[in-house]
């Protein structure tokens, strides 16, 4: 057993025996507790496989109900999730994307090859206008990833003018008006490159820092009148030197956030099936997912050293589980099923982000539809919601709520002589005074009893919602779309300032307690 304390919730791999036991937790409200930004619950849509084409966009001649080609079933499901932002157009695709290919009359748009993802034809029928209009339909904030790897500062600056400047002020906004959109969309979030250490240009951090400074300079004017929020391409996992070099070399007036990417992959050469896996593979996936705690804590420590006032945010703008593609599907399309294992990844990862809400201000699950750890899968006109969707929906109660730090000692989940913390948790109070506590037991075999001291919170009523299933491998199919779903949870009691409940194996519960 080991101690877990906010804010340095250490994920340790310890040996020892796992046995069901009582976990004692204490809610420790803090005067200066941060707000959990709703943007932590963000999503990502790349021109990859069937994410955009077939997933979001079917074209306006499709029989699938759509508005200007965008699927209305997907829009309704994502609006229900209250998705706060959507990152586009990549990913690796972004650093080969020239946005001017995707504007104007569709018949005049050039086709290109999507070299990163299956070498398939990209006809550019879904471009800037289509994406930004779709964000309005979704009621979500766009986050655009600009091409640094193979683009120019001029192309970047032109894109900002096209999307943000009033018509008539320069050629780009006038072009926008000519293409049917008079009012600018006013895009705030701009990524300057993606994975610059890899598909975004294979750069050294020193070189990227200089290039970033050059691109960032042309985003706006001296005073950043356009209010552009600039995000630097960040490290992969534990590459702390990347963050250090960027923090040392980019002036604070040119940067608002640094990104971080981490995927839960067992072995890049043998990722394993998304839905047929052993406990050993499950344990290994969770070990990878829980590394997020260490990565975030250590990148934050470096940022704290160079920016103690926390002016620069950390955006984990790609995260999630990554397995082999579903048999018979295109290797380059990254289409995978989504099981209770993915629900465990989502629940624990979102708790980590909540608990680091003072620096983690945005995160983007990869990816929204039909790619990697998707919240939605489609097949022709059919659509299903994955277990990860349900987690995101249960956790939406934390959007813009005030963090309530939790202190507790987690029992271990032990497999084959290695251990992980079995219990993950986070809590917050929303603007109506309701307290929400999200609890996850990742243990594949043991239930754990939780005793949460909430005396300091003055709580009355208690309700809850649960996501659980008979097997870790359970998932939703187009034939059985509701196999894994949420249900009301009545197994918790609140007595004398203490909440008690039992958390079954691989189960997730979100409690709501009112005053
Ligand atoms: O999400 C899939 C890919 O993973 C993205 O394009 C890239 O940024 C990352 O390597």
Q: ∠ CA(45), CA(47), CA(48), 5° rounding?
A: 95
What tens digit of pLDDT does each residue of 218-271 get?
999 999 999 999 999 999 999 999 999 999 999 999 999 999 999 999 999 999
Residue 21: pLDDT band by 50, 70, 90 thresholds?
A: confident
331 catalytic per annotation:
no
Output the average pLDDT for the chain.
95
SS (H, E, C) 217-273: HCCCCCCCCCCCEEEEEEEECCCHHHHHHHHHHCCHHHCCEEEEEEEECCCCCCCCC
Read off the DSSP letter of residue 57.
B
More confident of the two residues 1 and 268: 268
Nearest alpha carbon, ligand 1 atom 9: 91
Percentage above 90 pLDDT, the chain: 95
Q: Is the pLDDT of residue 16 over 70?
A: no
Region 484-489: mean pLDDT is 98
What is the model's pLDDT at position 253? 96
The pLDDT confidence band at residue 19, using thresholds 50, 70 and 90, is low
Between 7 and 170, the higher pLDDT residue: 170
Please state, in angstroms and as integers, the Cα–Cα distance from residue 373 to each residue in 344, 368, 387, following that order: 12, 8, 10
Q: Name the burial class of residue 461, with classes exposed (0-12), middle (13-18) and buried (19+) by CB atoms within 10 angstroms of its CB.
A: exposed
- Rounded distance from Cα 445 to ligand 1 centre (Å): 33
pLDDT tens readout for residues 278-329: 999 999 999 999 999 999 999 999 999 999 999 999 999 999 999 999 999 9
Q: Average the pLDDT over 4-10 and give the result.
A: 36
* pLDDT value of residue 89: 98
Enumerate residues 6+ apart whose C-beta is below 8 A from 276.
473
Distance of CA 496 to the CA centre of its chain: 37
List 113's β-bridge partners, or say none. Answer: 121
How much is the pLDDT for 39?
98
Pocket of ligand 1 (CB under 6 A): 46, 90-92, 194-195, 318, 366-367, 372
DSSP state of 417: T
From 122, 195, 293, 465, active-site residue:
195
Q: Provide the H-helix boundaries in 328-447.
A: 340-355, 387-395
pLDDT of 28 reads 87
Q: What is the pTM of this model?
A: 0.95
Indicate the pLDDT class of residue 405, thresholds 50, 70 and 90.
very high
pLDDT at 2 over 50: no
CB-CB contact of 355 with 296 (8 Å): no
CA of 168 to the centre of ligand 1 (A): 37
User: Probe ligand 1: pick from 97, 261, 335, max atoms within 8 Å of CB?
Assistant: 261
Indicate whether 7 pLDDT > 50. no
Q: Could you give the 3-state DSSP secondary structure of residue 364? A: strand
Residue whose CB lies within 8 A of the most ligand 1 atoms, among 43, 44, 46, for a mutation test:
46
The reported pLDDT for the residue numbered 20 is 61
Is the preceding peptide bond at 91 cis, omega within 30 degrees of 0? yes
Is 515 noted as a catalytic residue in this protein? no
Q: Is the pLDDT of residue 15 over 60?
A: no
Residue 49 CA to ligand 1 center (angstroms) comes to 12
Over residues 414-426, the mean pLDDT reads 97
């Amino acid at each position: 057993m080991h101690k877990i304390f906010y804010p340095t919730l250490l994920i340790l791999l310890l040996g020892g025996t796992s046995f069901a036991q009582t976990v004692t937790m204490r809610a420790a409200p803090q005067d200066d507790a941060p707000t959990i930004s709703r943007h932590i619950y963000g999503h990502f849509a790349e021109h990859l496989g069937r994410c955009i084409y077939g997933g979001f966009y079917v074209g306006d001649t499709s029989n699938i109900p759509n508005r200007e080609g965008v699927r209305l079933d997907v829009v309704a499901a994502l609006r229900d999730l209250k998705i706060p932002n959507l990152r586009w157009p990549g990913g690796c695709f972004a650093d080969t994307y020239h946005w001017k290919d995707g504007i104007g009359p569709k018949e005049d748009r050039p086709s290109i090859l999507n070299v990163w993802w299956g070498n398939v034809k990209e006809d550019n029928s879904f471009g800037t206008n289509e994406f930004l209009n779709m964000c309005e339909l979704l009621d979500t904030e766009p986050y655009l990833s600009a091409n640094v790897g193979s683009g120019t500062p001029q192309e970047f600056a032109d894109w900002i003018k096209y999307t943000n400047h009033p018509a008539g002020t320069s050629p780009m906004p006038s072009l926008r008006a000519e293409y049917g959109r008079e009012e600018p969309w006013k895009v705030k979030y701009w990524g300057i490159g993606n994975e610059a250490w890899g598909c975004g240009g294979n750069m050294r951090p020193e070189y990227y820092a200089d290039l970033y400074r050059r691109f960032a300079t042309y985003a706006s004017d001296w005073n950043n009148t356009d209010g552009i929020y600039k995000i630097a391409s960040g490290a992969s996992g534990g590459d702390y030197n990347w963050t250090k070099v960027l923090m040392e070399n980019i002036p604070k007036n040119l940067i608002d956030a640094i990104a971080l990417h981490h995927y839960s992959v067992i072995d890049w050469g043998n990722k394993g099936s998304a839905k047929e896996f052993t406990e050993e593979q499950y344990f290994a996936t969770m070990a990878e997912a829980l590394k997020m705690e260490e990565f975030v804590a250590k990148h934050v420590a470096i940022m704290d050293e160079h920016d103690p006032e926390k002016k620069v945010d950390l955006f984990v703008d790609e995260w999630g589980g990554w397995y082999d593609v579903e048999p018979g599907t295109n290797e380059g399309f990254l289409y995978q099923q989504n099981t209770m294992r993915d629900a465990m990844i989502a629940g624990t990862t979102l708790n980590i982000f909540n608990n680091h809400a003072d620096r983690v201000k945005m995160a983007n699950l990869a990816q929204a539809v039909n790619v990697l750890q998707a919240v939605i899968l489609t097949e022709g006109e059919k659509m299903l919601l994955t277990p990860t969707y349900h987690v995101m929906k249960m956790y939406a109660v934390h959007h813009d709520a005030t963090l309530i730090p939790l202190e507790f000692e987690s029992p271990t989940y032990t497999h084959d002589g290695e251990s992980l913390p079995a219990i993950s948790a986070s809590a917050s109070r929303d603007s109506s005074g309701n307290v929400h506590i999200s609890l996850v037991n990742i243990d594949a075999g043991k239930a754990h009893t939780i005793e949460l001291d909430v005396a300091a919170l003055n709580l009355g009523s208690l309700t809850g919602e649960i996501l659980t299933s008979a097997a870790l491998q359970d998932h939703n199919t187009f034939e059985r779309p509701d196999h894994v779903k949420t249900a009301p949870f009545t197994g918790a009691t609140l007595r004398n300032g203490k909440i008690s409940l039992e958390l079954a194996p691989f189960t997730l519960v979100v409690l709501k307690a009112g005053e």
